[in-house]
Amino acid sequence: MTIFTEISLVVVLAVGFGFLAHLLRQPVIIGFIVAGLVIGYFEQLQLTHIAYLESLGAIGIALLLFLVGLEMNIKEWRQVGVPAFLVGLGQIIFTFIAGILLSIALGFSTLSSFYIASALTLSSTIVVVKLLSEKRDLRSLYGRVAIGILLLQDFAAITLILFLTGLESDGGVGLLGVTTLVKGLGLVVLTIIASRVLPKVLDLIGRSQEMLYLFGAAWALGVSSVAVFAGLSIEAGGFLAGLALANSAERFQISSRLRPLRDFFIILFFVILGSRALEGLGGVELLPAAALTLFVLIGTPLIVLLIMSALGYRSRTSFLTGIAVAQVSEFSFIVAALGSRLGHISNAEVSLITLVGLATIFVSSYFIVHNNRLYEVFRPLVARFEFRRGMIEETSPEVQLSNHTVLIGVHRMGEGILKALEDSRASFVALDFDPTVVKSLAKTGVPVVYGDIADSEVQEKVGLAKAKIIISTLPELKDNLIVIQEVKRRGGRAKVILTAEDEWSARELYKEGADYVILPRFLGGQELAKIISQDHNFSSLKELKKRDLKLIGG
């Protein structure tokens, strides 16, 4: 077959199996790898230009890491808070140690165990974010903690890739490792310098969308090539290239335009990975594969559960966070491929990591989709791990709440409502899952609870059944439906005021019994329409600006 025919075959099979994975509610990455397994299995489909296809797949990896660096937002790390950082750090350390011990016990060498443990420690950001966004759980407490863990893992994965590049083929860190480290530090310094200069260059290029797109691709691939020439990896170069542009105003445009190009080339990488994995699949023993798969599906959630319980998270938050990160990452496949390229691990060990990755991603996807049902099943057992209280999911001193107002979600729109409640001197309690917000409110004496409204214990804490008025500024439909259902189930008679993102959600909430549904864009539009129709000189804008600046602290 010609190289054109082989590329066409790879893309067609990848799309076909990717669509099948989509129908099964699985990440399409599984479909891509399965397409590779099919190509590797059938002799009629054998690829004769695999070296060229691997080179094209490397472009996808460079662009993938470029976009990771480009979207590396330090502010997001601050938002998840110190507790989530501690959970992520503890998960990486304990999972890595347990993974190495298990791998050695299964008969693998120390270096192979290092790679296997590294692969098992990382969870899939793509899979978790995709499924949590579909469930509208990204802004839930457990969702925010899971994202915090994934952000830390992404950073650890990049650091690991940089480190592995400096290892000699025997696993030692000799003169080659020191030289590579020096080159790496040099490239980092150049990245820092470039991050100060390039944003100004992009301001000029940004006027032409076509040039912006071409510059982004050229910069990503150019720096990756320089990294390879310096003895580093393509992955390291791609990430540093993205990091250099992370502070530019044009980063969002570059990211959105390069993502389709990345998706095309990354298909080739995962398909080739699948076809290569089959070469060593005959050497994969079922017992180690099963043991490592169970470790990821059961051991990782257990480690997260223990860490979060020790910090003072409630059982529901700990359980849901644990099963959210119970899968192998796409970065794990990249680390395995890098290890094979460096001669550190065999094809059989790459196949083992790939097999465990496929199994864990497949099973954990169903774990995440049905996480609340799983929690109800394991709730009696999981509740025993709740051995420390009052440190993270901390509340104000216990007060007897009755005939009061419950404000769910203090940030943004909730700030104005909170101020009105304080001025009215009415009995109320606030609920939020941002630790920074809760800590700030607690210092000022505001009765506040840190937690997730979906948690039955939190519902008890805020006195949902005894409330007079319940106001939710959360836009997530699922959370607001829980509020209505729990008020009904507990026999409450509160007036329920909720928030919706769109008209369809508002209709659903009214159908379920909401007394009033806030549609923020309607309210904003109505206020502006009132100004246009009644204040022809727009003199009221000055007062509105003054009011809003006071609320946002400007």
Percentage helix, strand, coil for the chain under 3-state DSSP, each rounded to 5 = 70, 5, 25
Provide the 3-class DSSP secondary structure of residue 48: coil
What pLDDT sits at residue 139? 67
Give me the mean pLDDT over the 33-54 stretch: 77
> Burial level of 175, CB count in 10 A (0-12/13-18/19+)?
exposed
Question: Quick one: what percent of the chain has pLDDT higher than 70?
Answer: 83
For residue 389, pLDDT beyond 60: no
Q: Which residue has the higher pLDDT, 96 or 347?
A: 96
What pLDDT sits at residue 295? 95
Give me the mean pLDDT over the 485-510 stretch: 85
For residue 538, pLDDT beyond 90: no
Give the CA angle between residues 42, 38, 350 to the nearest 5°. 110
Q: pLDDT band at 412, cuts 50/70/90?
A: low
Give the CA angle between residues 299, 305, 307 to the nearest 5°. 105
Q: pLDDT band at 390, cuts 50/70/90?
A: low
Tokens of 250: 């044009």
The most confident of the ranges 71-75, 84-88, 257-261, 305-309 is 305-309
Range of lowest pLDDT (11-25, 335-349, 398-412): 398-412
Give me the mean pLDDT over the 30-52 stretch: 78
Give me the mean pLDDT over the 275-282 stretch: 64
For residue 294, pLDDT beyond 90: yes
For residue 302, pLDDT beyond 90: yes
Tokens of 216: 């982004």
For residue 169, pLDDT beyond 50: no
Q: pLDDT band at 174, cuts 50/70/90?
A: very low
For the chain, give the mean pLDDT: 79
Give me the mean pLDDT over the 481-491 stretch: 86
Q: How far is CA 494 from CA 403, 448, 456, 461, 484, in A?
A: 9, 19, 17, 16, 10
Give the CA angle between residues 136, 138, 142 to the nearest 5°. 115
Can you give the C-alpha Rg of the chain in angstroms? 26
What pLDDT sits at residue 168? 45
Q: Which residue has the higher pLDDT, 263 or 72?
A: 263
User: Which residues are CB-neighbours of 300 under 8 A, at least 6 positions away?
Assistant: 91, 95, 120, 123, 322, 325, 326
- Domains by residue range for the chain, with CATH: 3-385 (1.20.1530.20), 405-518 (3.40.50.720)
Q: pLDDT band at 281, cuts 50/70/90?
A: low
What pLDDT sits at residue 549? 66
In terms of pTM, does the model score above 0.75? no
- Partnered with residue 498 across adjacent β-strands are 517
Which residue is it, tokens 């497949």?
362
Give me the mean pLDDT over the 387-397 stretch: 56
Provide the 3-class DSSP secondary structure of residue 14: helix
For residue 527, pLDDT beyond 70: no
Tokens of 76: 């997001």
Q: Sort residue 553 into left (φ over 0), alpha (ψ -120 to 50) or beta.
A: left
Strand pairing report for 516-518 and 448-450? unpaired
Q: Which residue has the higher pLDDT, 95 or 50?
A: 95
> What DSSP string runs through 328-339?
--HHHHHHHHHH
Characterize 42-62 residue by residue with b for buried, 16 or more Cβ atoms within 10 angstroms of its Cβ, and e for exposed. eeebebebeeebbebbbbbbb
Q: Which residue has the higher pLDDT, 384 or 515?
A: 515
Give me the mean pLDDT over the 442-447 stretch: 82
Tokens of 474: 């959360």
Q: Which residue has the higher pLDDT, 373 or 235?
A: 373
Asked if residues 548 and 528 have their Cβ atoms less than 8 Å apart, the reply is no
What pLDDT sits at residue 170? 45
Q: In which element (H, E) is residue 449 found?
A: strand 448-450
Structure letter (DSSP) for residue 32: H
| Alpha-carbon span 420 to 34, nearest angstrom | 57
Summarised one tens digit per residue, pLDDT across range 98-110 is 999 999 999 899 9
| Alpha-carbon span 330 to 334, nearest angstrom | 7
For residue 63, pLDDT beyond 50: yes
Closest CA to 393 of 306, 303, 314: 314
For residue 28, pLDDT beyond 90: no
